[in-house]
Amino acid sequence: MNLPNLLTTLRILMVPAVVHLLARGSYAPAMWLFLACGVTDALDGYIARRYGLTTQLGAILDPIADKLLIIAPVIVLASEGLLPWWLAFAIVCRDLVIVAGAGCWYRKAGRLDMAPSLPGKINTFVLIALVGLVIGQAAGFLQIAPLLPLLFVLSLCSTLFSGIHYVVVWGSRARAL
């Protein structure tokens, strides 16, 4: 296992701790740990590309880690009233559609092509930033409450656009098989 895959695995292992801290209302430590997860996300991709360490395992683990890092805190934050449920629902549904689509692709193609799109990468960044900002607000490090409704709507737009983009692109590729 190479360094990028180790960083991705570390990120996956940190998610339960982030969720635990959020559920306890320990927002400051949760924010720092979530920030560490975000840093490992940036580092693993950079190292893998820069040093030619991309692997099939990394191509599978990285999107799983991203989905866990976003979905788990989103559900906890929504359950605590820090994120609206409609946004949490949209985020979870988008990822369920993508995972279901990947399963259908695998059944039809016999392989799993895990190629993130630019809208998907942007959406991941937007959602990680949103979760980090919401945790920072809850921890008292940020005072952005007036901006949160706008950030929620922008995050919803990013989520819907990237989800529709994946369905259109991968749907057309599946029809071409």
pLDDT tens profile 124-170: 999 999 999 999 999 999 999 999 999 999 999 999 999 999 999 98
Between CA 21 and CA 132, with CA 123 as vertex, the angle to 5 degrees is 25
- Own/partner long-range contacts of 166-171 (Cβ < 8 Å, ≥24 apart): 166/97, 166/98, 166/101, 166/117, 166/119, 166/120, 167/97, 167/101, 169/117, 170/101, 170/105, 171/101
Between residues 113 and 62, the one the model is more confident about: 62
The pLDDT score that the predictor gives to residue 133 is: 98
Residues 90-118 as b or e (16 or more Cβ within 10 Å = b): bbbebbeebeebbeebeeeeeeeeeebee
- pLDDT of 108 reads 83
CATH code, 23: 1.20.120.1760
Res. 111: pLDDT tops 90: no
82, 138 Cβ separation under 8 angstroms: yes
Using CA atoms, how far apart are residues 79 and 48, in angstroms rounded to an integer?
36
H or E stretch at 21: helix 3-24
Mean pLDDT of 84-105: 93
Provide the residue range defining the domain that includes 19. Answer: 3-176
pTM value is: 0.93
For 80-177, where are the alpha helices, taking DSSP H only? 85-109, 118-139, 148-176
Q: How confident is the model at residue 176 (pLDDT cuts 50, 70, 90)?
A: confident
Whether the pLDDT of residue 114 is over 80: the answer is no
Name which of 104, 125, 117, 6 is nearest 57 in CA terms.
Answer: 6
Distance of alpha carbon 27 from alpha carbon 177, whole angstroms: 47
The pLDDT of residue 171 is 85
Tell me how many domains the chain contains: 1
**pLDDT grade for 21, boundaries at 50, 70 and 90:** very high
92 touches 84 (CB < 8 A): no
Say what the pLDDT of residue 174 is: 80
Q: What pLDDT does residue 29 have? A: 98
For the cut 90, the answer to whether the pLDDT of residue 112 exceeds it is no
